[in-house]
Amino acid sequence: MMSRHKTNRETAPAAVGEGGRFPSAITGILLAVVAVAMLTVSCVPPAARLPAAPSDKVGAAESPSPLSHVRLHVQRITQIPNSGLLLPTVSPDGQWVAYLDLASARPPNGEAMLTGQGASSMSLHARSLADGSSRQICAQGAAWPVWSPDSGRLVFFSHDRGGNLQLGLHDVAANRADFRPLPVGAAAMPAISPDGRKLALVSFEADASASRLHLCDLDSGRLLAAPPDLGAGHPIWPAWTGANRLAVVMVEATGGRIVEWDTAAGSVAARGQIAVADSPAGLLAVGLTIASLAAGDQAHLAYFDAGAKAITIHSLSSEVPHSLAPLTQSGCWQGSRQFLAGTDESLLLYRDLGGGGGKPLSLISGRWLPRWADPSGQKVLALTQGARPELFELVRIDIVPE
């Protein structure tokens, strides 16, 4: 059983879940430097170089596509710092990009992303993709930014000068950030509910030896009631599969399980197995994320499966996983049925994942990190290498039918 927090549970805010201790074989994984690309909070080390965008000049360029009857319009938008920790995240409406920047040349290690220790050099910024203006959201100790579904709020964690954890909420329209104490020690892997009112998060012990799942009311900052027993293992990567349903990966010494918790009814259902790598950053590479839900649609999850060495799409209705092309490590959803995945060679589009996905369509060659896609299928925002290793180039790719 996972050890309890030092404060008495009856007098402390309610914690969610009692998961197990991290298996000794993978405790060190959570303390390793984050150096792999993930689905929603992808990580790429600053020294890793990506190929330049198709045009050598800043601005727009036409690019041929392997697809027939399609022309690609490729435009460089802006350069963004590569913190080497978390990839920039684009708002759901495609109008803003949030990113971390470092005050020092040497980034914190992966432990800082989980425990907050040594994270003081990280600041959080947001840049408008409409006019190019930037704003500083949090001056120090920032981590794990995530956008609300309506793009009106940017939620993040921060640590003050005393090392105390805070929940940060930035109102985009008002350009104002509010901070509230978050009494869980350290937090990571946040996920905002579809209505934008609740936050699921994973807290870690100071030595990153154990984790717990929590729910937080974003209006009050209050921690909510605990779920039923989620079974053996420790929870990572919560993802909302509906208004009151939450999928969670439970990691054990021999692998992982996906469970789904109905937060209204209190029930827990098993949703299949997942391979988790027993290697540095293996747990962080899972990157569980959920497709946007169409009316009456069944939830589809995407995650990196260590056994398949590829992004895997998992339907909760059939519990049958479908792995994409080998070595796909970064991707994003395009609506509820299509998925964009990047490899070292090209940007791939998978259509109708409800039918198994079929053979992917290659949109453009090169190594791309897709970050956002218009549900209409006509616009993609992706990262490529900037002018220097410590910079990304954010590129807009318009898919124009001929």
Whole-angstrom Cα distance, residue 172 to residue 151? 8
Q: Is the separation of the CB atoms in 204 and 188 below 8 Å?
A: yes
pLDDT at residue 107, as a whole number? 65
Residue 272 is assigned to a structural domain of this protein: yes
> What pLDDT, on the 0 to 100 scale, is given for residue 38?
36
Kind and range of the H or E element at 110?
helix 110-115
Assess whether pLDDT exceeds 50 at residue 273. yes
Query: Which residues does 171 contact at the CB level (< 8 Å), separation at least 6?
Result: 152, 153, 177, 178
Tokens representing 5 are 């927090």
Q: Residue 62's pLDDT is what?
A: 53
268 located within any domain: yes
pLDDT score recorded for residue 381? 96
Amino acid 330: pLDDT: 85
pLDDT at 1: 28
Give the model's pLDDT for residue 11. Answer: 25
Predicted confidence (pLDDT) per residue in 95-151, tens digit:
999 999 988 766 666 666 777 776 778 899 999 999 999 999 999 889 999 999 999
Range of the domain at 220: 24-46+84-290
Is residue 395 situated within a structural domain?
no
**How confident is the model at residue 34, as a pLDDT?**
28
| The Cα angle at residue 16 between residues 15 and 21, in degrees rounded to 5 | 95
Q: Rounded CA gap, 300 and 303, in Å?
A: 10
The token duo for 339 is: 């998925």
How much is the pLDDT for 155?
A: 97
CATH number at residue 120: 2.130.10.10
**340 inside domain:** no
Q: Give domain status of residue 6, yes or no.
A: no
Average pLDDT score over the chain = 77
pLDDT band with cut points at 50, 70 and 90 for residue 54:
very low
Residue 30 has pLDDT above 90, yes or no: no
> How far is 252 from 23, CA to CA, in rounded Å?
7
Q: Is residue 162 part of a domain?
A: yes
Whether 280 shows a pLDDT value over 70: the answer reads no
The DSSP output letter for 296 is: T
Residue 97 in any domain: the answer is yes
Q: Say if residues 249 and 282 touch (Cβ distance below 8 Å).
A: no
Predicted confidence (pLDDT) per residue in 315-371, tens digit: 887 767 888 988 887 899 987 778 999 988 899 998 877 555 578 888 899 889 999
pTM: predicted TM-score of the whole model, two decimal places: 0.82
pLDDT of residue 16: 33
Half-sphere exposure of 154 (CA within 13 A, CB side): 31
pLDDT of residue 211: 83
pLDDT band at residue 198 under the 50/70/90 scheme = very high
How, if at all, do strands 255-262 and 245-252 pair?
antiparallel
Q: How many domains does the chain have?
A: 1
| Res. 196: pLDDT tops 90 | yes
Q: What amino acid is encoded at 48 in this protein?
A: A
Which pLDDT tens digit goes with each residue over 215-251?
999 988 888 877 778 888 889 899 999 889 999 999 8
pLDDT, position 4: 29
Q: In what order do the strands lie in the sheet with 96-102?
A: 89-90, 96-102, 122-128, 134-138
Domain annotation covers residue 195: yes
* Alpha-carbon distance values, 91 to 155, 194, 205, 374 (Å): 11, 14, 30, 11
